[in-house]
Amino acid sequence: MIWKNIFILFFLCAWVSIGRAESVRETWNIVVDEFPPFTCVRCPDGGAGIKALSEALQTVNIDIVVTYLPFVHVLREARSQKYLGYFSWLASMQSGYANPSKALFLSRLTLVEQKNHPLVWKELSDLKGKRIGLYEGSGYFEEFMDLVNRGVITVLLYPGDDVRIRLVAQGKLDGALMDRDNAIYHIKQLQSSIREKVQVSEHILHTQGTYFVIQKKHAEKMKILEKALGNVDTQKIVDDYLLKYQQ
């Protein structure tokens, strides 16, 4: 009888310990740039990308605390001791100091153009001589940058998305290369006198992955992240979010 009671007590202690272990939660501090509707301090749930990452990490008992900064500050801050990781829109931003996750969702690049003078093209090279506005400090896909480097496409750099859209509306740019949903978000925020002059092209120039990158010193967290991303369909979470808030 004594041994039976000891066994029962041992079983109960083990069960309580397992329950406590499963209930232990961890917090990850991450840094992102303002890139609505994906990462945005003003957006519901912090943006579609933040919602997707948060829901995935919730399945492995991890909460996230998000710091939103201008793009030019994110890579510098991502190296600091304060943050475990950050969002990366291009694979080229990941090399050297961080480990990328698998893609959380896809970003579709297109052009914002003038309604009265839409860009006509089938191949990227058809944009020869056009003035295309890019976000200063960012990088773009290889085929596009090859045409830029060879002088086929003329690009001008600007520090903001809405600035480029305004310049397209004024006819000072022929187009602005942007993520499709990011462009739709910004156009909706602008005054009607600008909105009625621009449109988002139906052509998708390039589709690229969006990643969550963890610093190498926290590389052991990658297995946790990979498990979390395998538990949910992050692309569907993003698509549902955009369907709800972008229409």
Asked if residue 174 is part of any domain, the answer here is: yes
- Of 121 and 247, the structure prediction assigns the larger pLDDT to 121
In this predicted structure, what is the pLDDT of residue 246? 82
> Is the residue at 111 inside a domain?
yes
Mean pLDDT of 17-38: 78
On whether both 84 and 115 belong to a single domain, the answer is no
Whether residue 184 is found in the same domain as residue 115: yes
Share of the chain above pLDDT 90, in %: 53
State whether 203 and 213 are in the same domain.
no
Which tokens is 34 given? Answer: 């303002």
Residues 78-122 pLDDT 10s: 777 788 888 876 555 555 455 667 889 999 999 999 999 999 988
Domain match, 95 and 45 both:
yes
Does residue 73 form part of some domain? yes
User: By the 8 A CB rule, do 78 and 22 touch?
Assistant: no
Please check whether residue 148 lies inside any domain of the structure: yes
pLDDT of residue 91: 52
Considering the domain architecture, whether residues 45 and 58 belong to the same structural domain is answered as: yes
| Whether residue 117 sits in one domain with residue 99 | no
- Mean pLDDT for the stretch of residues 55-76: 90
Is residue 185 located within the same domain as residue 214? Answer: no
Give domain status of residue 216, yes or no.
yes
- pTM, whole model, 2 decimals? 0.84
Question: Do 49 and 117 share a domain, yes or no?
Answer: no
Number of separate domains in the chain: 2
Task: Give the pLDDT mean for 32-60.
Answer: 95
Q: Are residues 93 and 121 in the same domain?
A: no
Query: Are residue 133 and residue 190 in the same domain, yes or no?
Result: yes
Question: Quick one: average pLDDT of 37-48?
Answer: 95
Query: Domain range holding 143?
Result: 107-207
CA 33/CA 47 separation, integer angstroms: 11
Question: Of the candidates 169, 205, 210, which has an alpha carbon nearest to the alpha carbon of residue 187?
Answer: 169
Q: What is the CATH number of the domain that holds 83?
A: 3.40.190.10
What is the largest distance, in Å, between two alpha-carbon atoms of the chain?
91
pLDDT at 230: 95
Indicate whether 188 and 203 sit together in one domain.
yes
Is 11 within a domain? no
For residue 12, being part of any structural domain is answered with no
Q: For the residues of 127-156, what is the DSSP string, one character each?
A: GTT-EEEEETT----HHHHHHHHTTSSEEE
**121 and 79 together in one domain:** no
Residue 4 domain flag: no
Q: CA 155, CA 149: separation in Å to the nearest integer?
A: 10
Question: Dihedrals φ, ψ of 212, to 5°?
Answer: -110, 125
